[in-house]
Amino acid sequence: MYSHPQHSADQEQVAFLRREAGKWLRGLREAANLSQRDLASRVGFERYAFVSGATSWTR
């Protein structure tokens, strides 16, 4: 049976990893001088909501 990997993971560890991933993505985006919309467009997303959501994990 399929089990979602985050359901069995330590929730504090998951939150930590999300924050670190958000910081990493935001750092790369800012270093490239790209807005969230610009990054979303370059990776083929029609909307920038995913980029916005991923970088908000840093909070």
SS3 readout for 34-58: CCHHHHHHHCCCCCCHHHHHHHHCC
Mean pLDDT of 12-40: 93
CA dihedral (4, 36, 46, 44) in degrees, to 10, reads: -80
- State the pTM of this model: 0.72
Residue 54 confidence (pLDDT): 84
pLDDT band at 14 (very low <50, low <70, confident <90, very high): confident
Mean pLDDT of 2-12: 69
Mean pLDDT of 50-57: 82
Let me know: does 55 contact 36? Beta carbons within 8 Å: yes
